[in-house]
Amino acid sequence: MIALLYFRVCVTIEERSINPTDEQAQACLRVCQMLSNFYRDIQLFRFNPRSREVYIFAGEELQIRVFPSGDWSFINETEL
């Protein structure tokens, strides 16, 4: 007789929900698709609830900010 053990893992990754605007969510999808098309790994994707901006860090040098309006821009080192 073979006994199979199944473990159930329940994990809460983030306790509070994020609420990007529709325009912002669509812009994030377009930016992530663009990065994927150029074979860039997305290292970090973060929604800042205070500024309501999304930050995307890709590869070793690309930093992108997506605003609630759906506009996005690269962040250069002088802005940090």
| pLDDT tens by residue, 2-57 | 555 555 655 566 667 778 999 999 999 999 999 999 999 999 999 998 999 999 99
| Ordered alpha helix ranges (H), the chain | 22-37
Report residue 21 as tokens: 């605007």
Q: Can you give the pTM of this predicted structure? A: 0.74
C-alpha distances (whole Å) from 24 to each of 15, 30, 34 are: 21, 10, 15
Q: Which residues contact 32 (CB under 8 A, 6 or more apart)?
A: 42, 45, 56
**Calpha distance 53→66 (Å, rounded):** 6
